[in-house]
Amino acid sequence: MSTKTDKLLSVLKLQPVVPVLIIDDVATAVPLARALVAGGLKAIEITLRTPAALDALRAVADQVEGAVAGAGTILNAAQYEQAVKAGSQFIVSPGTTQELIDAANDSEIPLLPGAATASEVMGLREEGYDVMKFFPAEQAGGASYLKSLSSPLAGTLFCPTGGISLSNAKDYLSLPNVVCVGGSWVAPKELVAKGDWAGITRLAAEAFALKG
């Protein structure tokens, strides 16, 4: 487990913000990913929420130099396998099931499992996980809730996702148990629709600067 945890942490520590993307049109995937990488955001989560997602993931994994493509919204073992075959280097789930844990155990590609309560975190720790996605972050209690978990559940690291923006990202990033945050604000739909890749690179660079 520790080798996979190291592999996952090496991805999550690349940057303070992991872009969470919903891609409707495969044609936008490569230029969008290139724009994010140019701004410093190399690890990119493409969510399996659209028919185009797997093809978009494959295109980014194959064609975007410097990108570390991951798959999000993975709900079952079949999707896990499809995402890995498409080139995903990390897998993200909104919650956790035994089926997903079994799929992760059978794969070389690490899972960032979702948790929202102390009991879920404890259950994942029993399975050998100490790096998790906290989702939906704002709706589940926000930075103050996550801060309150840091002492009783010491040694657990989180990537909070859900409702996070440039304005509140630092509230999370300042916590000792947060390794990075996930956010969709770095790739707004209107900029993607216009093909404003320079605008997206600026937003990515602004997000990358939160590291300081």
pLDDT digits (tens, 9 = 90+) for 143-193: 999 999 999 999 999 999 999 999 999 999 999 999 999 999 999 999 999
- Position 211 scores a pLDDT of 81
What tens digit of pLDDT does each residue of 194-206 get? 999 999 999 999 9
Q: Does 107 score more than 90 pLDDT? A: yes
Provide the b/e sequence for 62-87 (b: ≥16 CB within 10 Å). Answer: eebeebbbbbbbbeebebbebbbebb
The continuous run of DSSP H or E covering 57 comes out as helix 53-63
Task: List, in sequence order, every residue forming a beta bridge with 159; answer none if it has no partner.
Answer: 133
Torsion-angle region of residue 163: left (phi > 0), alpha (psi -120 to 50) or beta? left
Structure tokens given for 51:
């028919």
User: How far is Cα 61 from Cα 44, in angstroms, rounded to an integer?
Assistant: 10
Q: Look at the block and give the residue holding tokens 């300042």.
A: 174
Centre a 10 Å sphere on the Cβ of residue 1 and count the other Cβ atoms it contains.
12
- The predicted model scores a pTM of 0.97
Q: Are 40 and 31 in contact (CB under 8 A)?
A: no
pLDDT band for 92, please (50, 70, 90 cuts): very high
Please list, in sequence order, all residues whose beta carbon lies within 8 angstroms of the beta carbon of residue 163, skipping any fewer than 6 positions away. 136, 137, 138, 139, 142
Radius of gyration of the chain measured on its C-alpha atoms: 16
Domain 2-211 has CATH 3.20.20.70: yes
User: What is the C-alpha to C-alpha distance for residues 19 and 42, in angstroms, rounded to an integer?
Assistant: 9
> Is the pLDDT reported for residue 212 higher than 70?
no
Residue 72: the pLDDT is 98
Q: Does the pLDDT at position 1 exceed 60?
A: no
At 76, which helix (H) or strand (E)?
A: none
Question: Which residues have a catalytic role annotated?
Answer: 45, 133
Average pLDDT of the chain, as a whole number: 97
Cα–Cα separations (whole angstroms), residue 178 to 132, 185, 200, 208: 10, 19, 25, 15
Contact 61, 83 (CB under 8 A): no
Percent of the chain scored above 90 by pLDDT?
Answer: 98
Q: Residue 6: what residue type?
A: D
Q: What is the arithmetic mean of pLDDT over 107-121? A: 98
Q: What is the pLDDT of residues 140-156, one digit of tens each?
A: 999 999 999 999 999 99
